[in-house]
Amino acid sequence: MKSNIKFKYRTDENGNMVVNPNDIIPSKDNKSIYGDDIEKNNKNYKHIEKSMIVQGINNTPIPVYTDGSLKGGHTRLHIALKQVFKEVKIRIEGDRPKTKLGVIESLIDDNVDLREKSYLHCLNEFIALENAHWETHKMRNIPKETVTEWVEKINSGTALPISLNVLDQLRLVKERDPNLFDDINSGKIKPGKAYKLVKNTKPRDKARTNREVMKWMSDKNFQNDIIKSFDTSRKSFLNNIGYTDEDGNFINVITGEFTDIEENAVTGMYSHILANTITSVFRRRMPKVNAQSPRKGGDPDTQFKHFDEEGTEPLRLETKFAQIIKNKSKFYGGEGATSINPHEYVLAVRQGLNRFCMIVATMDSKDWKSKTGGSVADFDDYMKKHYKEKGKTWYPIIGDVVLSNYDTQYDIIFEEIKWK
């Protein structure tokens, strides 16, 4: 068997085969089926990690094929790489199966009783078997007895009540509203209830991947144009809304001597002004993208109609404005925010009427939390997740966000708009 081995290894003093964990080829199929959150999915993770740290190596060898690809032991390999182990024990499990179906069946067998499998994991196993069957046999019509065997195989590795009917229901949920799996897996709703919620809905548009909004907005001249135009418009709102009384005096009903406006109303108006300013600047500087602001609620704040494509989400830019309340800034959205695909936002926070921090940011469903009648995104929570991605998933256009001396708090730097 060792004569067939196609990678470097050595034999230690106890006769164990050991290799550098970086030389093991990880399983892409394992990631596509079970996800990449190994620490959460393996019920024995903490025990295995503690044992490996104490021993300095894995007691149970990692099974690999003769070509160096991983057969099982994904958790042990993950821990070895995380802890920067120089070597791990392995055992050879023969040649890698010649067919894709053989690889998937072996992978599922290796994960029996090792994972806290969710409904989504079970569905992914079934879909992987279907796809592998097609790749291996070039047959779309799968024999009934084969499907029955697959369901039994999947059932043997979970306490969940898996049947072909349940898998069919889950498949439609994944197609129409995959975010429902959070509630299914947590036990809030059953697969049948989720199926009823989506069966009469339209299939979701495909997520848009060719998004260049971050690139467009990074141009400094473009940013300055937005800031200047926003500042001109907001000052007009603050200073010019009112009437002339019978004595010829102009009465400002927004910021007059004896008048005022609620904070939320100012924030809301600033949000509308900024969104429409962004659209107008795009129309002036980049007319070909055909930027438009909505005429009805629920549409994106700025939509680039030139890129409309049937069956694909619109290319869009959302604008959210917040104010500081008890050192917190929160952005509010509709109920659908907790199920969005990644796209771009302008997140603006004001301090009083004249000082601002604005960033361009990519957000997805994980950045939003459900609340009664809608959703909310906490600015500090967003920074906890994405602060180190500055320049990639977010960047400032006025003001900034910096990490405090305690490395746990994110301080917003506000700036007054200045332009000539």
88-92 and 316-323 beta bridge pairing: unpaired
DSSP string, 333-358: E-GGGGGPPSEEEEEEEEETTTEEEE
Domain's final residue, options 81, 96, 111:
96
CA–CA dist 183, 173 (Å, integer):
12
CA–CA dist 52, 363 (Å, integer):
37
Beta strands in 255-380 (DSSP E): 291-292, 302-304, 316-323, 330-333, 343-351, 355-363, 369-371, 374-378
Q: What is the pLDDT of residue 327?
A: 81
- Burial class, 390, CB count within 10 angstroms (exposed 0-12 / middle 13-18 / buried 19+): middle
Domain count, the chain: 3
Mean pLDDT by 10 residues, the chain (420 residues): 76 89 90 81 82 87 91 89 91 90 90 77 94 86 92 87 94 86 88 90 81 94 95 92 90 82 90 95 96 78 92 92 88 84 95 94 90 86 93 96 76 84
Residue 348, domain extent:
213-416
92 and 164, same domain (yes or no): no
**Please, which residues have CB within 8 angstroms of residue 61's CB and are 6 or more apart in sequence?**
16, 17, 73, 89, 90, 91
CA–CA dist 102, 96 (Å, integer):
9
Domain's final residue, options 74, 96, 118:
96
To the question of pTM greater than 0.75 for the whole model, the response is: no
Query: Domain containing 277 — which CATH number?
Result: 3.40.600
190 and 222, same domain (yes or no): no
- Phi, psi of 9, rounded to the nearest 5 degrees: -155, 170
- Burial class, 276, CB count within 10 angstroms (exposed 0-12 / middle 13-18 / buried 19+): middle
168 and 86, same domain (yes or no): no
- Phi, psi of 69, rounded to the nearest 5 degrees: -85, 150
194 and 217, same domain (yes or no): no
